[in-house]
Amino acid sequence: MEAVSYLKNILELDVSENSLFGEIPITIGDCLSLQILYLQGNSFEGNLPSSLATLKDLRYADLSRNNLSGLIPKDLQKVSVLLYLNISFNNLMGEVPTEGFFRNASAMSVIGNKKLCGGVLELHLQACDVKVMKQGKSHTFKLTAIIVGGVLCFILFSSFLVLYRRIKLKKESSSTLPKTNQLTNVSYKKLYQTTDGFSLGNLIGSSSFGSVYKGIINQEKWMVVVKVLNLQQKGATKNFTAECNAFRNIRHRNLVKILTCCSSVDYNGNDFKALVYEFMENGDLDKWLHQDIDNENQPRHLSLLQRLNIAIDVAYALQYLHDYCEPLIIHCDLKPSNVLLDNDMIAKVSDFGLARILSTTNDVSQNQTSTIGIKGTIGYAAPGT
């Protein structure tokens, strides 16, 4: 039967009453001139090939007394010249078509297929069980409800976990103050020693406003960050003043703590201004979101829950600055590089050099800013600034 596709011009194919088995090849549809097909009395199995519908000249087809299963192809309704179809005594199932050729009950035989249903009334078949369809839809609905319910439960559980973590950390932070808060004003000499003479080995970042170094201060070996301002840059002194004013009276677990400041002269007699912050072990958010190709041996990855926690941390910080601190502060340059992460991946907003401090009075002239004109990073504007 596999070679039947080569019989393109055959008019009649009769292999009835043999011991043939296997599936009826789908290539039988290539016999475009076939008018008579007799396959009865064999052991063919599998589905009726849908390619039978491409035999536009098919008039007589007998596929009875085999082991065929599956549904009757509905495309057989389109064979307009079909005069007789015998598919009795097989294992066919499902609904018998009711259009085209299948309207004429006397032109076909479907007996001996216990799982067939429907069709025209003259066939006297059982009605198709609507309950089966309803049960299928009901099963789909139940499965969808289970999936949706599972997702909702996961979201609720994650939310409760985040809230629990927030409450726990707030209690811990309120019960104990870090030792670094005990720092007082430091001299240029102390900062020089802390950073090994502001060496390149301790340099962790730089910009037009200055350079940032890491260092160890005091005998307790506290890790700190020293931001040395470039006083040659226009607005650097205002930047220093604004950041000092911003941190003078504010305290929040999601704001980087300024430990102390230094306004002095260096060993060459030049003006020197620096700010000392707590050290954040995991760096800034920008490095976690945008991997450095030079650091392939140290891959970083943020899970969905970590990203959610960071977003909540930043939102808490902004809510405090906008609504609760005195005076109110607008950051004016919020971006991933200004969001730092500590050892527990808690996010803290930093760099208030461009902050706008709002007076509680109605006198607009009392509002303070560290820069004049457009604020923030060039090419970037934070929402609400």
DSSP state of 2: G
Residues 6+ apart with CB under 8 A from 367: 356, 357, 358, 359
Q: Beta 339-341 vs 67-70: how paired, if at all? A: unpaired
Q: Is the dihedral of CA 113, 114, 118, 121 positive or negative?
A: positive
Degrees to nearest 5, angle at CA 345 with 340 and 346: 70
Residues 6+ apart with CB under 8 A from 157: none
Task: Decide: helix, strand or coil at residue 22.
Answer: strand
Please give the structure tokens belonging to residue 146.
């289970």
- Distance between CA atoms of residues 376 and 335, nearest Å: 9
Q: Which residues are identified as catalytic?
A: 333
Q: Beta 12-14 vs 36-38: how paired, if at all? A: parallel
**Cα dist. 323→127, 251, 318, 329, 376 in Å?**
70, 13, 8, 9, 21
**Is the CB of residue 215 less than 8 Å from the CB of residue 194?**
yes
- Distance between CA atoms of residues 40 and 357, nearest Å: 93
Residues 6+ apart with CB under 8 A from 9: 33
Instruction: Give the phi and the psi of residue 192 in degrees, each rounded to 5.
Output: -60, -45
Exposure class string for 154-169: b at 16+ Cβ within 10 A, else e: eeeeeeeeeeeebeee
- Distance between CA atoms of residues 136 and 147, nearest Å: 17
